Structure formats: structure tokens, C-alpha cells
């Protein structure tokens, strides 16, 4: 029987790359995104690899939208085996005291509450079926302190904490939950951030020992490894994929 993965933020960047990589393993994909254009594009690309795919439009900051994407996935595929809990935004790059309250609320709503809602409904469905595997997207800003991303860093540190704590509660029941902590990666979100803050790209590349940004495809390889049976005894960990960036801080 084919396995099924839900990927939030699946319409571009890390989510789309992970969808395509998992499709190569014969895994059906439920693509969740706020962008119908991006999500539909991912579905088309996944289907070209010979597996089934479904697009579900959702604003992950709304619990009812999250429950809906879980319900629709179960209705279409019958089970949820893997979950890449990935949707997120970066923010403007302003220093914290210059950041508008609405921006703070938006980042927390999508990055933190969206991830929590996803875990709440997906883990519940997985445990009814004997367990499953989850990868949460944290960030280099979730393992070290960085300027200009205070709210973003707060949400990503939260991702690390929820990953560890969910394992403490449910690993015995067949749930595996890990997180990834990418450094600066060539995704549309990061490209937009650097376009708005050009000095930061040069600073980021200079601070990475490998002297380049990561690629979505490199991150997708790690996601596929952690989600699938190849990583059965890795649980509750946060894996850095950043060219050595955080290890030199």
C-alpha cells in the first residue's frame, strides 16, 4: 500500500523540493499552501513522477484550515504516514523595536501556531493508525541568536522545543518527530528577504564556512531521510544543515 505525506508550504521552496524528492520514493503527496498557483504547480510536478497528489489551500494560522487539510488528506488517501510541517514566513528583517505588532502576530500565527495546529491534528491521525514520522522546519535562527529576526527566532526556537516535547509524550506510541535547522538557503522566501536587505546576503555568505547558500534540493534529501524508514532510531533531534554556519558561532 502506498504511503502518504502532507507537506505544508508545499507550493515553493523547501516544500516543493521535498514533495518532488518524496515522490521519487513512490510516496503520494498532499500539498498544502496558501498559494493556489504554487500548490497546483507542485501537484503537477509530483504527478509527473507517477504518484498521486492533492492540493489543499490553507492558511495554517487558522486551526479550522489545518483540520480541513488533515480531513481532506484522510478522505482522499486513507492515511497520513509522513508530515513535513514546513510552512513559514521570515518577516521584514527590521530590528525588533522597529517591527510592527501586526507583523509579530503574523509571524507567530503562521510559524508557531500553524506548526502547533499541524502537530495537533496530524499526530492525532497518525496515532490512530499506529504512528508516523514528522519533520518540523526550524532554522539556524532556532539554535543560535541572530539580529533582525527576533520574532522569527522565537518561533523557530519554539519549533525545537515542541519537537523534543512531543517525542517525550508519544515516541512510545510509534511517533517519530525531528526538526531540521537550515541555514540561509536559496528559496523564494530567502531571496525576497535578501532583496529587501541586500547587505545581509553578503554577511550571510561570508559567515558560512562553505561560502555559499544551501539549496532546497540538499534540504529535501535530509527531509526524505528523516521521514522514512532509513532513520528509524533518530527521534527528537534537530539536525543542522547550514554549511557549518551555526557550528562556528
CA pair distance 35, 9, nearest whole angstrom: 9
Catalytic-role residue among 121, 152, 170, 233: 152
The residue behind cell 508550504 is 9
The closest alpha carbon to 74, from 129, 134, 17, belongs to 129
The closest alpha carbon to 11, from 26, 33, 29, belongs to 33
Instruction: Give the three cell numbers for residue 21.
Output: 524528492
117 is catalytic: no
The residue behind cell 488533515 is 70
Residues with Cβ < 8 Å from 118, sequence gap 6 or more? 8, 60, 66, 83, 85
- Do the beta carbons of residue 177 and residue 235 sit within 8 Å? yes
- Cite the active site residues: 152
Amino acid at each position: 500500500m502506498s504511503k502518504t505525506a502532507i507537506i505544508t508550504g508545499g507550493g515553493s521552496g523547501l516544500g516543493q523540493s521535498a514533495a518532488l524528492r518524496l515522490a521519487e520514493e513512490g510516496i503520494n503527496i498532499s500539498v498544502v499552501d496558501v498559494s493556489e498557483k504554487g500548490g497546483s504547480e507542485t501537484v503537477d510536478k509530483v504527478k509527473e513522477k507517477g504518484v498521486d497528489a492533492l492540493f489543499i489551500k490553507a492558511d495554517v494560522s487558522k486551526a479550522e484550515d489545518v483540520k480541513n487539510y488533515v480531513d481532506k488528506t484522510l478522505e482522499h488517501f486513507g492515511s497520513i504516514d509522513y508530515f513535513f510541517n514546513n510552512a513559514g514566513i521570515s518577516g521584514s528583517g527590521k530590528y525588533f523595536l522597529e517591527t510592527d505588532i501586526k507583523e509579530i502576530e503574523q509571524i507567530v500565527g503562521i510559524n508557531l501556531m500553524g506548526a502547533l495546529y499541524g502537530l495537533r491534528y496530524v499526530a492525532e491521525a497518525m496515532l490512530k493508525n499506529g504512528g508516523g514520522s514528522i519533520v518540523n522546519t526550524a532554522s539556524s535562527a532556532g539554535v543560535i541568536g541572530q539580529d533582525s529576526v527576533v520574532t522569527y527566532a522565537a518561533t523557530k526556537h519554539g519549533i525545537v522545543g515542541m519537537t523534543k516535547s512531543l517525542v517525550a509524550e508519544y515516541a512510545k506510541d510509534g511517533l517519530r518527530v525531528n526538526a531540521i535547522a537550515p541555514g540561509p538557503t536559496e528559496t523564494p522566501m530567502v531571496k525576497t528577504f535578501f532583496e529587501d536587505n541586500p547587505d545581509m546576503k553578503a554577511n550571510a555568505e561570508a559567515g558560512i564556512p562553505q561560502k555559499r547558500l544551501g539549496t532546497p534540493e540538499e534540504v529535501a534529501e535530509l527531509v526524505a531521510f528523516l521521514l522514512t524508514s532509513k532513520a528509524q532510531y533518530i527521534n527528537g533531534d534537530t539536525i543542522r544543515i547550514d554549511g557549518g554556519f551555526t557550528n562556528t558561532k
